Amino acid sequence: MAKIELSFYPGCSSQKGATSSNYLVSAQTMCEELDIQLNEIPDWNCCGASIGYGGGGELPRLTLSARNIALSEEHNSGQEIVATCAACWLSTREAKERLHEDEQMFKDANAALSEAGLKYEGESNVRHMVEVLVEDIGFDGIKSKVKKPLEGLKIAGYVGCQTNRPFGIAGESFENPQYLDKIVESVGADSIPTYEKKVQCCGGALAFSEPEKSQEMIKGIIEAAYDNGADMIVTPCPLCQANVEIYQDNINETYGTKFNMPVVYYSTLMSVAFGRSATDAALNGQVIPAKKLEEIANK
């Protein structure tokens, strides 16, 4: 497999000491094994995520992503932009499409960017890491790198919202995407294609502002994983991961449940299956330990 070089937008939550720093560690490990080189966009900024709209409005919000694209085109010229975070990917791609469709918005964004000495062209492709896995590496490509198959593990593929809608992964349906299950199978574990909560919303940013309403939905996501006999949940989204993992204590208190369901990233599974250590797979970043993965990693 030829080396793949990408202009990488890691996003705020992946930074050291932030909620999905474990995602970054495992994604980097995964990319090392797949010969993917991630060239970080120099001086990238926050994309506004899915909640910044209320303070930022339209043009200021879109300009945030335009700055990242402009920086990528200036410093990582000719490389496709890739994000691991669902909201980062969505915002960047949305900004690109909107500025492409709307000539005035394109001019206005450039007027704002010129204040920072930047110019937006918007020629780069904006992709999510799972697109690179599915389209460039392929399931067989993933399979060929597996040294320790995750045999005996049953894993519920929780795709969530923003990796799936509105853009989604080419060739997949919005209502019943299959690629995450195929990744699970590729690393030697058992998938649950009929996991009915695979695209259920976890509340997203409203987990902070409307905790009761969100936790009711999160409860359903975890309950369905138990009902399907899952050992753990896997997800491609940092906010899904955090929301479904870290509020299990609160949900247990509210609903009298006894949830203790590990929630990991696809990159965690792949790092372990590719034979890397528990630390390289960032298993030490779990709030609810994924003991069965630790056992395989430590074998």
Partner 1 sequence: MSDLNTAMIEKYRSSFLKEVEANVEEGEWVKMCMQCGVCSGSCPLGKHWEHPPQEIFMMIRAGKRDDVLSSDSMWMCTSCYNCIARCPRGLPITHIMHGLAVYSKRLGLTPQKQPTAEFSQIFWDNLMKKGRVNELKLGLSMYFKDGFGQGIKNAMANQKLGQNMMKAKRMNAMEFFGGHSVKDLSGFQKMVKKAQEIEEGNIKDFK
Catalog residues that contact partner 1 under the rule CB under 8 A. Answer: 12-13, 15-22, 43-46, 48-60, 63-64, 67, 108-109, 111-113, 115-118, 161-162, 165-166, 168, 174-175, 200-201, 203-206, 208-210, 213-214, 217, 242, 246-247, 249-250, 284-287
Euclidean distance between CA atoms 88 and 128, whole angstroms: 9
Q: Minimum distance between the CB of residue 115 and partner 1, rounded to whole angstroms? A: 4
Q: Toward partner 1, which CB reaches closer, 146 or 201?
A: 201
Nearest to 132 by CA among 95, 99, 163: 163
Strand order across the beta sheet in which 81-83 lies = 36-40, 4-9, 81-83, 126-128
Q: Toward partner 1, which CB reaches closer, 105 or 137?
A: 105
Q: Toward partner 1, which CB reaches closer, 142 or 221?
A: 221
Q: Is the distance from CB of 140 to CB of 187 less than 8 angstroms? A: no
Nearest to 48 by CA among 12, 1, 97, 6: 12
Q: Minimum distance between the CB of residue 91 and partner 1, rounded to whole angstroms? A: 10
Sort residue 122 into left (φ over 0), alpha (ψ -120 to 50) or beta: left
Q: Minimum distance between the CB of residue 100 and partner 1, rounded to whole angstroms? A: 15
Q: Minimum distance between the CB of residue 262 and partner 1, rounded to whole angstroms? A: 12
Q: Toward partner 1, which CB reaches closer, 61 or 292?
A: 61
Euclidean distance between CA atoms 289 and 282, whole angstroms: 11
Q: Minimum distance between the CB of residue 35 and partner 1, rounded to whole angstroms? A: 28
Q: Toward partner 1, which CB reaches closer, 34 or 66?
A: 66
Q: Toward partner 1, which CB reaches closer, 47 or 192?
A: 47
Residues 6+ apart with CB under 8 A from 16: none
Beta bridge pairs of residue 12 = none
Q: Toward partner 1, which CB reaches closer, 22 or 191?
A: 22
Residues 6+ apart with CB under 8 A from 120: 66, 67, 69, 70, 73, 99, 106, 109, 110, 113
Q: Is residue 80 exposed (0-12), middle (13-18) or buried (19+ Cβ within 10 Å)? A: middle
Q: Minimum distance between the CB of residue 188 and partner 1, rounded to whole angstroms? A: 26
Q: Minimum distance between the CB of residue 82 and partner 1, rounded to whole angstroms? A: 19
